């Protein structure tokens, strides 16, 4: 199902009376620089351990114990105040050689990724998708021995993904790779950025080329991909990977459409170290976080490239009040420095590995495990989700049966218009109830404009 992302401009031009201020999908976002888009992202949430789970087949996203992702989950995330979702995706267990591509993506898996992306995209949220957990010697591995294969892998994946999402606007963001590193090396996770080992230096050079291959593939995929924001990490996704002298930003065919990715579970002793006996907040942790943000500002952003923190969280060590202190500090710097952060959520609160208790949203009950943690983040960012009108799609639902477009709402529907992609109104009705239907005679892509007592929303549909 293709997104016709510029259709709303046509709709607005032909039917100027349609008020789209409160629409779930607010229209075509284009022409914004990386810095512009970074300012538009308030705070993001990670759908961790779902589409990045490395099982096989259609139900792979459930292979690590999480339930199948639903639209209601993403609605809940937006209701809480997040306006962006990072959707990590593993592709390596869903590829095969089909003659055209050495790493051809299974169509069923691509369709499922697209379905989940649409849950957020159609809510007007920013969405990041990436290559995640494919860091192995059969797919992407940053050494000279595997460099050609690695570049081929990211080129194949991003060519296919880029073409599949070519008409999505700037709300959709691509991230080339996740935490690239030499798996199994002594310095897999940590290295001296001033004096990296030969293995790490080689890997950094390879990561530069792999990022470049990915960016080139995205730009060559056509459609809106020349305008798309693309995120690139350094070695292991760390700040050291960005600030070490060997790292370089890819050359891009377009200006100001790259930003740099860093993961920051900072300070590690507080956020993730299970061997630390006491996870109580102290002033030293403030200085650790201040150092992180100062380094990003002075050593990375000062060179003209914006930054985002694609993963951050503090693991649950039964230290709720201390975690709130960490949030006030970490997200306070995020706001003050203009560096958007994405909270890592793997839906785990009590697993045996203390480092990985990063559960925030219970994906079965759709309730926050500890709502005060989410509230603290929003308060720190100066955002009150209750102060704005709910504009997500659980107020109403649209679905198609044969040629009939059926609309159901929990508030009164005033009227409905159906507009073709060339801006022609093809059907209209006045409702007055909570459910109505309208018939569309011909196949095609249409925009349904729904006016309720709470405002106006739009939904893209396809009639087959």
Q: How far apart are CA 205 and CA 244, in angstroms?
A: 11
CA angle 263, 266, 272 (to 5 degrees): 95
Residue 207 burial by CB count (10 A; 0-12/13-18/19+): exposed, middle or buried?
buried
The secondary structure of 2-22 as a DSSP string is ---TTHHHHHHHH-TT---TT
Q: How far apart are CA 317 and CA 93, in angstroms?
A: 33
Q: How far apart are CA 144 and CA 341, in angstroms?
A: 33
What one-character DSSP code corresponds to residue 406?
A: E
CA angle 241, 247, 250 (to 5 degrees): 120
What one-character DSSP code corresponds to residue 113?
A: H
> In this structure, what token pair is assigned to residue 401?
């049966």
**HSE (CB half, 13 Å, CA atoms) of 158?**
32
Residue length of the chain: 464
Q: How far apart are CA 314 and CA 327, in angstroms?
A: 8
Cα–Cα distance list, 329 to 244, 372, 417 (Å): 26, 15, 48
Q: At what angle do helices 107-121 and 147-164 cross, to 10 degrees?
A: 60
Residue with tokens 């639902």: 397
Which is the catalytic residue, given 61, 164, 202, 311?
Answer: 311
Three-state secondary structure call for residue 295: helix
Which is the catalytic residue, given 164, 175, 179, 327?
Answer: 179
Q: How far apart are CA 227 and CA 446, in angstroms?
A: 24
Measured in whole angstroms, how far is the alpha carbon of residue 403 from the centre of its chain?
34
Residue 379 burial by CB count (10 A; 0-12/13-18/19+): exposed, middle or buried?
middle
The secondary structure of 420-459 as a DSSP string is ETTS-EEEEEE--SSEEEEE--S-EEEEEEEEETTEEEEE
The secondary structure of 186-204 as a DSSP string is TTSS---TTS--HHHHHHH
Q: Is 179 marked active-site?
A: yes
Q: How far apart are CA 46 and CA 34, in angstroms?
A: 20
Q: Is 401 marked active-site?
A: no
Q: How far apart are CA 165 and CA 399, in angstroms?
A: 22
> Using an 8 Å Cβ cutoff, are 158 and 214 in contact?
yes
Cite the active site residues: 179, 311
């Amino acid at each position: 199902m293709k997104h016709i992302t510029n259709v709303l401009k046509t709709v607005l031009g032909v039917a100027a009376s349609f008020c789209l201020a409160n629409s779930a999908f607010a229209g075509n976002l284009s022409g914004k620089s990386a810095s512009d888009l970074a300012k538009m992202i308030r705070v993001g949430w990670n759908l961790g351990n779902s589409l990045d789970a490395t099982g096989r087949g259609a139900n792979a996203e459930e292979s690590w114990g999480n339930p199948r992702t639903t639209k209601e989950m993403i609605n809940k995330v937006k209701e809480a105040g997040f306006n962006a979702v990072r959707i990590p995706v593993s592709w390596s267990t869903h590829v095969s050689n089909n003659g055209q591509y050495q790493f051809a993506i299974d169509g069923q898996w691509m369709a499922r990724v697209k379905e989940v992306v649409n849950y957020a995209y159609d809510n007007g949220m920013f969405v990041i998708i990436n290559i995640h957990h494919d860091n192995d010697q059969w797919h992407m591995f940053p050494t000279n021995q595997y460099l050609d294969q690695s570049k081929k892998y990211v080129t194949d994946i991003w060519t296919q993904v880029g073409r599949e999402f070519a008409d999505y606007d700037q709300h959709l963001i691509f991230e080339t790779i996740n935490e690239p590193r030499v798996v199994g090396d002594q310095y897999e996770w940590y290295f001296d950025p001033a004096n990296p080992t030969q293995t790490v230096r080689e890997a950094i050079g390879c990561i530069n080329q792999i990022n470049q291959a990915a960016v080139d593939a995205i730009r060559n995929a056509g459609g809106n991909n020349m305008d798309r924001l693309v995120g690139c990490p350094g070695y292991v996704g760390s700040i050291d990977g960005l600030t070490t002298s060997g790292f370089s930003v890819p050359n891009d065919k377009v200006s100001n459409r790259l930003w740099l990715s860093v993961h920051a579970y900072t300070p590690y002793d507080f956020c993730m170290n299970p061997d630390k006996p006491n996870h109580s907040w102290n002033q030293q942790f403030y200085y650790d976080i201040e150092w992180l943000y100062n380094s990003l500002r002075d050593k990375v952003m000062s060179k003209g490239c914006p930054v985002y923190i694609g993963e951050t969280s503090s693991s649950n060590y039964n230290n709720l009040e201390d975690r709130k202190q960490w949030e006030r500090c970490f997200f306070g710097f995020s706001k003050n420095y203009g560096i958007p952060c994405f909270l890592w959520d793997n839906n785990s609160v009590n697993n045996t590995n203390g480092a990985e208790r990063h559960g925030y949203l219970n994906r079965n009950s759709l309730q926050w495990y500890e709502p005060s943690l989410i509230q603290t983040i929003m308060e720190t960012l100066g955002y009150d989700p209750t102060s704005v009108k709910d504009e997500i799609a659980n107020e109403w639902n649209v679905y198609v049966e044969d040629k009939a477009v059926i609309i159901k709402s929990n508030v009164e529907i005033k009227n409905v218009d159906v507009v073709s992609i060339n801006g022609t109104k093809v059907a209209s009705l006045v409702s007055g109830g909570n459910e109505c239907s309208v018939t569309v005679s011909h196949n095609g892509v249409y925009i349904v404009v729904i006016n309720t007592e709470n405002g106006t929303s739009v939904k893209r549909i396809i009639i087959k």
